[in-house]
Chains A and B, each alone.
Chain A
Amino acid sequence: MARFVVRRLFVMVGLMFAISLVTFLLFIVALPNGNPAALLAGRLATPAEVHLISVRYGFDKPIWIQYIRTMEHIFDGTAYSYQSGFNVLDEIRAGLPTTLSLALGAGVLWFLSSILVGTLAAIKAGRYTDRVLTVLAMTGVSMPVFFLGAILIYYVGYKLGIIPISGYVSLTQSPSLWLWHLIAPWITLSVLFIGIYSRILRSTILDTINEDFVRTARAKGLSERQVLLRHILRNSLVPIVSLWGLDLAQVIGGGAILTETVYGLHGVGYLAYQAIGRIDTVTLLSIVMLTALCVVVLGALTEIVYAFLDPRIRLQ
């Protein structure tokens, strides 16, 4: 276990370095109207002003020095957005509870729903129920978040008035209002994942059903339900568990841009949405770092869950 953690830490550092470098270079090299000083100075600035800004922010230094400085600022919490002037770390901290609420709630919802839907589709494979679920899954996968979100807000929020139209109330402020505000975002974010996960689980279960040990389980005298829950389902979970870790990391790292924007949840995704709008490279770079961190940490956690689900897998 200790070796696993140390190894993972090395992987994490390496991965974050690579991602930060690539993202940084993309922003510097591939950004439209490449000169960040000109961008900051505004349309009416004189060349002297642009030069002044360039010197002040260090845009005149070699790229590798710029990179090191930016990373220093991001990791010691002294990075400021050139555009808004706010401390980026503070902004992320402010958004993180909202995003975590969205991600964890939706994550649980889509994981459990996928198990239900996928299992039901598998045991009814080829029959009417399976076909209906297949169509629903495909609909879920191809339904854009902004469309589903808009529909829910208009019909359930505005017409029926059952859910709030927008906004967020923190858990500590009022648990019931927190739940009430998050139900629609959770559903909206989950639909796509339920579609994908349930399809994957269905096919894994159909593979597992033909395994010899399932026949053994029946021959032992177990009921169909026991065979399904203890022997088939347990052996079919690995693929969706690994996906779940990565997708959850994405959402926590600001990946639910559309859901957060549609529902006015001011989380990390919403911050990313604003930063993209004003080409705020420092904020974006920080958010990318957060995503990478989440992916690596949750990836390692997922592997620990793997080893628990399948003892043949050794942590290394």
Chain B
Amino acid sequence: MSAASSLLEVEDMRVSFATEDGLVRAVDGVSFSVAPGEVLAIVGESGCGKSVTAMTLMGLTRGPNARIAGRATLGATELLSASEGALQRIRGGAIAMVFQDPMSSLNPVYRIGRQIVEQIRVHDPTVSKKQAMAQAVELLERVGIPHAERRLQSYPHEFSGGMRQRAMIAMALSCSPRLLIADEPTTALDVTIQAQILEELRTLREQTGSGVILITHDLAVVADIADRVIVMYAGRVVEQGTLDELFYDPLHPYTWGLLGSITRVDRDTSEILPAIPGMPPSLLNPPAGCHFRPRCPHAFAKCGEVPELSARAPDAPGHLDRCWIEPEQKRKLRVVGDQIGLASPEPVIA
């Protein structure tokens, strides 16, 4: 992926928040790029910094207590230092966002149509209300809402969860964004609706060539739609690669843990679903060195130093990870039973 062809280029983004208890390093040096028409998935547990990463791109984490550093360029614009006015044009314009909970993400007191029209007209005041309404009808039809014209007159509470998320997507599409950020777009929805929404995102990407950043903790969703995957842990990227590299040749123990804890139909039902032992570290006071070290059964002395995010396997230059263990050794260590997983910690013999 050369820099010239990419849509969004994020370099060493750092976000921390001053709180009463101290400085919380929510995002600690994250770099990635998104190409046009590409779906980049960012996965990780709650609180690993994936949402903060996305919100920071939109300038939504700015505030008196936030410290933001690094670079994020979208075309000719540097987002992290852009003025509030420039960001307002970009938000909902070049970058649109779909949020996790469609139940609460729409304003309950305005009709769906008005909320879509509002976004169209804030980015192009020359569009008349009538034209904007016509566009809104098209958008709702595009995301598969039947009787779109009538449905524009509905209030959010008259929509089902799936329809609201479609309306959110329609709203996000209204200004033909070059980049769509979907923050857990299917988490609050039924499984059947999830599949439909993902289908919507896929069609959108194919039709418009927009880049998509998909934030999720659901690896099934990732496997379904992503081209490339970033795994985040405690504010850092721990592994990055194509979908196949991540799923078939994962190189970071945390990724093994994530993959090992998926429910699988081919697993014996009497087995207990494996979970990664321990808790994610506090971002106030993260462990020195590799942040995953306290939960990693394979940790050794070198893990006290922070490993670089770099290509370690000679056969895959685009596959980056942050783990000191030799790739060949990893490929042995990650096999638990006959599947990929994180081995249980060795029992300590006194």
A residues bordering B, Cβ < 8 Å? 211-213, 215-224, 226, 230-231, 234-235, 309-312
Contacts and interface: CB of A to CB of B under 8 A. Distances in A.
B104 A311 contact: no
B233 to A, nearest CB: 25
What is the size category of the interface that chain B forms with chain A?
Answer: 20 to 34
B202 interface: no
Contacts of B84: 224
B118 A222 contact: yes
Which 6 pairs between the two chains have the least Cβ-Cβ distance? A221-B92, A212-B104, A220-B92, A221-B91, A213-B107, A220-B119
B96 A219 contact: yes
Nearest to A226: B122
10 contacts: A213-B108, A215-B105, A216-B99, A216-B105, A221-B88, A221-B92, A221-B93, A222-B92, A223-B88, A312-B155
Nearest to A232: B107
Contacts of A226: 122
Contacts of B106: 213, 216
B34 interface: no
B91 A231 contact: no
Contacts of A216: 99, 105-107, 168
Contact of B101 (A212, A224, A311): A212
Nearest to A214: B107
A310 B109 contact: yes
B99 A212 contact: yes
Contacts of A309: 109
Contacts of A221: 88-93, 119, 122-123
Given A217-B107, A219-B96, A220-B171, A311 B122 contact: no
Contacts of B92: 219-222
Given A223-B88, A311-B155, A213 B105 contact: yes
Given A219-B91, A222-B88, A312-B155, A235 B122 contact: no
B60 interface: yes
A223 B84 CA distance: 9
B109 A234 contact: yes
B91 A218 contact: yes
A243 to B, nearest CB: 19
A216 B91 CA distance: 10
Nearest to B157: A312
B58 interface: yes
B246 interface: no
A212 B105 contact: yes
A219 B58 contact: yes
B321 to A, nearest CB: 32
Contacts of A235: 107-109
Contacts of B89: 221
Contact of A311 (B58, B90, B109, B119): B109
A222 B122 CA distance: 7
B97 interface: yes
Contacts of B107: 213, 216-217, 231, 235
Contacts of A224: 84
A211 B157 CA distance: 16
A235 B157 CA distance: 15
A220 B58 CA distance: 10
Contacts of B93: 221
A132 B306 CA distance: 49
